[in-house]
A and B are shown apart, each in its own frame.
Chain A
């Protein structure tokens, strides 16, 4: 099997032998930064294009077709356009917090992105408490959203931010609890370890019924975390214009847009890592199938699973009508929350006695 660890180790050794220890480390840091940034930007562009295409096909349209083949360059053109737009200075806004908000949103999503294991040896950070880190750093985004809505001093953004805050913190609980069930199963919080443990079977198969329940809950809660689909109360266009980022213009709006799409990817990637085995190929009891599956590179496995989860998110988004806020909170506090609390005990018993 080809693993990126070969490449990264080779680069590491090459730099260390040709340059000193310190210089090698510095160059590696810079390379890591560039790689993360490039991957982040490219994935965001692909996701925006994919969303528009998928949405168009759901509605029997063609979607973007003009820029590039099949409209592939559409999102690149959009990004250039958004860079060329004026950044409007608001009269009554708290400008310092207003700018800080876009930083916080991007920091939260990029730092979470850095912890995702794409392949063996292909992740920026790999803490031994990785799951914990993911939950902690991704909840920083809520602060950014609340700040954005509060500081722009507009009624729409204010209501949008409040709704968004209530929704994000509520659904974060179910997210955390369903990831907790996986930690019970794996006994470690390090993401690379969790993936390695799924070599002989993905957790969704190994964990049986409680793992499937946790997976479904994670998908629902994660979808709500991204402020999309039936859970797009915070930016309900018909009521709130654009929710918490109504007052942002130009590239500052672009940051929120970018973060929203990348959060969708991150949620899908975490779902793939924790439940569907990350970059591990599908292994069955039959030896022949296993060898065949091993020929497919792990990166392709990872992106295949992730884009499958992304497609589920798009499917849900374009199929269901928007929930009211009371329905939204009822779903979390009265349905998902009790189920996930019980599911933890269920999973504990499953691990102990089966």
Chain B
């Protein structure tokens, strides 16, 4: 059996599971409407305004750093698979690549991008 078809089967199973449970819950769970019930939870105090606001820029920085290093991980996987046939030469090339990345990490560190302020 092809793996892609089985992946689809698992995916559809997940969707069916969520759908089924939701429909079952909608059928057997009690319903009572009340405008106050739909208010966001905030310790009982009426909420002020929306929550879709600006948030700390530090999270953004983390996301950018993640992007850089995650792409690097993706690039390293094919090399790891053929590591034995690539031998020392491949290792030298990848060490160079890793050194550039480590430099990036050192740069971010020195610039204070890793500090949480």
Which A residues lie at the B interface, using CB under 8 A? Answer: 25, 28-29, 32-33, 36-37, 40, 83-92, 99, 102-103, 106-107, 110-111, 114, 124-127, 129, 131-132, 135, 150, 152-159, 162, 165-166, 169-170, 172-173, 176-177, 180, 183-184, 187-189, 241, 246-247, 250-252, 254-255, 325-326, 329-330, 333-334, 337-338, 341, 344-345, 348-349, 351-352
Is the Cβ of A158 less than 8 Å from the Cβ of B55?
yes
Nearest neighbor of B8 in chain A, beta-carbon distance: A29
- CB atoms of B81 and A86 under 8 A apart: no
Cβ of A36 and Cβ of B3 under 8 Å apart? no
**For the complex, would chain A's binding face be called helix, strand, loop or mixed by DSSP majority?**
helix
Which of chain B's residues has its CB closest to A324's CB? Answer: B116
Whether A187 lies near B82 (C-beta < 8 A) is: yes
Cβ-defined contact, A330 with B114, below 8 A: yes
Contact: A86 with B42, CB < 8 Å? Answer: no
A152 to B32: give the CA distance in the assembly, Å: 20
Which of A92, A125, A184 meets B83, CB within 8 Å? Answer: A184
The interface on chain B, measured as residues whose beta carbon lies within 8 A of the other chain's beta carbons, has a size of: 69
Q: Is the CB–CB distance between A172 and B32 below 8 Å?
A: no
B51 near A155: Cβ-Cβ < 8 Å: yes
Give the chain A neighbours of B95 by CB distance below 8 A: 345
Tell whether, in the assembled complex, residue B52 and residue A153 are in contact, meaning their CB atoms are under 8 Å apart. yes
A338–B114 alpha-carbon span in the complex (Å): 13
Bound together, the chains give a CA A132 to CA B11 distance in angstroms of: 17
Q: Find out whether the CB atom of A247 lies under 8 angstroms from the CB atom of B40.
A: yes
User: Which partner residue on chain B sits nearest A12 by CB separation?
Assistant: B1
Q: Is the CB–CB distance between A189 and B81 below 8 Å? A: yes
The 0/1 profile, CB within 8 Å of A marked 1, for residues 37-64 of chain B is 1111110000100111101101100110
Chain B, interface SS category? helix
B81 touches A169 (CB 8 A): no
- Residue in A closest to B30 when the chains form the complex, CB atoms: A86
Q: Given that A127-B3, A189-B81 are known contacts, is A106 also in contact with B14, CB under 8 Å in the complex?
A: yes
Q: Is the CB of A173 within 8 A of B62?
A: no
Whether B76 lies near A162 (C-beta < 8 A) is no
Are A334 and B109 closer than 8 Å at their CB atoms?
yes
B18 with A344: CB separation less than 8 A: no
Given A125-B6, A170-B66, A176-B70: A111 touches B26 (CB 8 Å cut-off): no
Q: Which residue of B lies closest to A83 (CB)?
A: B25
* Complex: A32 Cα to B21 Cα, angstroms: 19
Find chain B residues with CB under 8 A from A87 CB: 22, 25-26, 29
Could you tell me if B105 and A337 are in contact, using CB atoms closer than 8 angstroms? yes
Distance between B64 CB and nearest chain A CB, rounded to angstroms:
10
Q: Would B13 and A33 count as touching, CB distance under 8 A? A: yes
* Docked pose: A110 CA to B8 CA in angstroms: 12
In-complex Cβ contact of A111 among B10, B42, B116 (8 A): B10
Residues of B within 8 A of A131 (CB): 77
Give chain B interface residues in 1-19, CB to chain A under 8 Å. 1, 3, 5-7, 9-18
- The reply to whether A91 and B25 form a contact with Cβ atoms under 8 Å apart is no
Is A351's CB under 8 angstroms from B84's CB?
A: yes
Cα-based distance from A176 to B70 in the complex (angstroms):
8
Q: Are B109 and A125 in contact (CB under 8 A)?
A: no
Which residues on the A side are within 8 Å of B52 (C-beta)?
150, 153, 158
Q: Does B69 sit within 8 A of A, measured CB to CB?
A: yes
In the bound complex, do residue B42 and residue A254 qualify as a contact, i.e. CB atoms below 8 Å apart?
no
Known: A107-B14, A177-B73, A251-B21. A29 touches B9 (CB 8 A): yes
**Chain B nearest CB: distance from A252 CB in Å?**
7
Q: Which partner residue on chain B sits nearest A112 by CB separation? A: B10
Q: Point out the residues of chain B lying under 8 angstroms from A337, CB to CB.
A: 69, 105
